Structures are given as C-alpha cells and as structure tokens.
Amino acid sequence: MTARSPRRAGVRLSASLAALSIALAGCVATEASALAPDLPSPEPGAIRVVATTTVLADLVARVGGSLVRVTSLVPKGGEIHTFDPRPSTLIAISEASLIVANGLGLDEPLTDLVATVGSRGPVIQLGEGLARTALIADEGQPNPHAWLNVAYARLYVAAIASALKSALPTRAAVIDAQAAAYDARLAELDAWTRARLAAVPAANRKVIVLHDAFPYFANAYGLEVIGSVISSPGQDPSAGEITALLAAIKASGARAIFSEAQFSDKLAGAIAAEAGVVVESNLYDDTLGDAPADSFEGLIRWDVDRIVAALQ
Ligand SMILES: [Zn+2]
C-alpha cells in the first residue's frame, strides 16, 4: 500500500544542499527536552544525539537521561514521510555524536543526507536491527512503523542503550540502569495495551487507517486493518481508490476510520460520513504531540484510549 520513491528523496537532498549555500541560519530543530517536561536537562558534557523523529528522540532521552542532548530533525507535529531537510538539519547532523534513525524506508532522505554531510558519530537504524521475520512487508517493502508494537520499541531501547554505551563507555552503568528502568515501564505499557484491546469485542476489531502506520500495532494487539485512506502521505487517493475503499468498508463491516493528528481529517471525515462509520481524528504515530501525547508512553496511552472508545 505504501510505496516510496527514492527518486523523490534525491530531489529533496539536492534542494536542501542548495539551500545550505544560501543560508545557514535556519529554524532550530526540536530538542526532546523541550517536549516532555519530565525529561532531565542535559548535564555539562552531555553528548549531542540527533534523532530523525520526535518519537525516537523521546526513546533516546529516556535511556540517556541527562547524559544526552537530543534533537529531533522533524519537529513535533511534523511528518517524516514528506519532510524537507532545512539548513538547521545539516548543522544538527554535523555536530552529532550519534544519529538515531528508523530505517526501513521511513527516513531515507535524512540518512542519505547524513551520508552526504557526514557526522562525527555513527548512525544507527533501529528498524533495520529487527529480525527480518519480525517485519511486515507490503509488495516486498517492509513497513517502517515497528515502534507502534511496544515489544519492538523495547528492542529499539536496547539498541539505543548499546549505542550510547559505545559513545560514553565510562557511563555504561548509568545508561544500563536508566535503560532497565525505562524498559520495565514499556513492559508494563505493552501489557496494559494488550489488556485494553482485549476488552474490545472481536466483531468490532476491523478498522481503516489514514496512512499505513498501524500494521505492527494491529498485529500485536489484535486489530484487523482493512485498508488505508491514502496509499502514501502527500498523495490523495483517486476517485477509484475511494470507491474501492467504501466497498471494502461495507464488505468487511469495519467500525471506524483512524485519522492522525499530523494530517487533515477532511478526507477521512468525508469517507466516514459516506460509509456511516466512526472517525477518530487525533491518533499519533509518526510524531509526538502536546501533553499527554508528548512522550512515547503518552502517545501509546492516548491512542489506545481513543481506539478502544471508537470500537466499543
Ligand atoms: Zn508513517
């Protein structure tokens, strides 16, 4: 369902390098500590870590605590699939001791940019570290949204801890302790999510999503995704695709359309009205939002509450 064009990524890359030659004083990328108020301030000597998204920035900040100064290249509420790198992106990359990306086609333009600009430290691609058998592919291309299965987010956390220990070997014990404490919270979050979704009647578990962000969540917690409104972010469906989606909703008995806070809900709302199903407009997946969805844990709890309410 979700096709991505490497050619489009190349165009963005050149445009961004051209922009660099014009101006270096761009807007400031989002610092994770500016998102969630419960994150500790970076201590003197904290290393600079760049994450491609606010979700990954939050995971890094939870594991690294005051030992890291984390920046997200895509700001809160921004959309990674259609993100255009800015001059500030290049500066952040060039100063980073570690770059944390998802891979699996999610943040390719940014990892291409890192390869071009060069960074002080290594790049880790968390999704690429998952076992191939764990990935859900569509037309041969793995879906990148693995963090929405909390069990996979825990694997991301383990990989982040390992990378931070390589960057800060003398602080390994602190990083291990912080990672273990956060992992315990995620284990609880995973169990809570499973229990909440288990309470949804089996007949109500069919859903339509806006973009194809929920296959790992659905697999882990027992939903069935019937289809998506848009095949690729930034690309509106054709009249034929909308007709096919309406037919699929009718044939499957899907209960709800889940739209997302970072996109307009106009199209999803119109399709839901036509199909006579519920629309939930404010789910988060690729980006964090305002409190209480200002952390990964908050995002999952926010989504689960809304999903369960829409399907009851
Ligand atoms: Zn996405």
pLDDT in 10s for each residue of the chain, 312 residues: 433 333 333 334 444 444 443 333 334 577 776 778 899 999 999 999 999 999 999 999 999 999 999 999 999 999 899 888 888 888 899 999 999 999 999 999 888 888 888 888 999 999 999 999 999 998 889 999 999 999 999 999 999 999 999 999 999 999 999 999 999 999 999 999 999 999 999 999 999 999 999 999 999 999 999 999 998 888 899 999 999 999 999 999 999 999 999 888 899 999 999 999 999 999 999 999 999 999 999 999 999 999 999 998
Distance from residue 134's CA to the centre of ligand 1 (Å): 18
- Whole-model pTM? 0.90
Distance from residue 174's CA to the centre of ligand 1 (Å): 33
Structural domain range at position 82: 6-193
Domain closes at, from 131, 162, 193: 193
Distance from residue 107's CA to the centre of ligand 1 (Å): 10
Distance from residue 151's CA to the centre of ligand 1 (Å): 18
Domain closes at, from 168, 193, 218: 193
Distance from residue 306's CA to the centre of ligand 1 (Å): 18
Distance from residue 2's CA to the centre of ligand 1 (Å): 9
Residues with CB under 5 A from ligand 1 (ion): 213, 286
Rounded to an integer, what distance in angstroms lies between the CA atom of residue 57 and that of residue 55? Answer: 5
Distance from residue 42's CA to the centre of ligand 1 (Å): 29
* 78 and 160 assigned to the same domain: yes
Distance from residue 65's CA to the centre of ligand 1 (Å): 27
Domain presence at residue 12: yes
Distance from residue 287's CA to the centre of ligand 1 (Å): 9
Distance from residue 279's CA to the centre of ligand 1 (Å): 19
* 49 and 184 assigned to the same domain: yes
Domain presence at residue 1: no
Domain count, the chain: 2
Distance from residue 212's CA to the centre of ligand 1 (Å): 7
* 147 and 259 assigned to the same domain: no
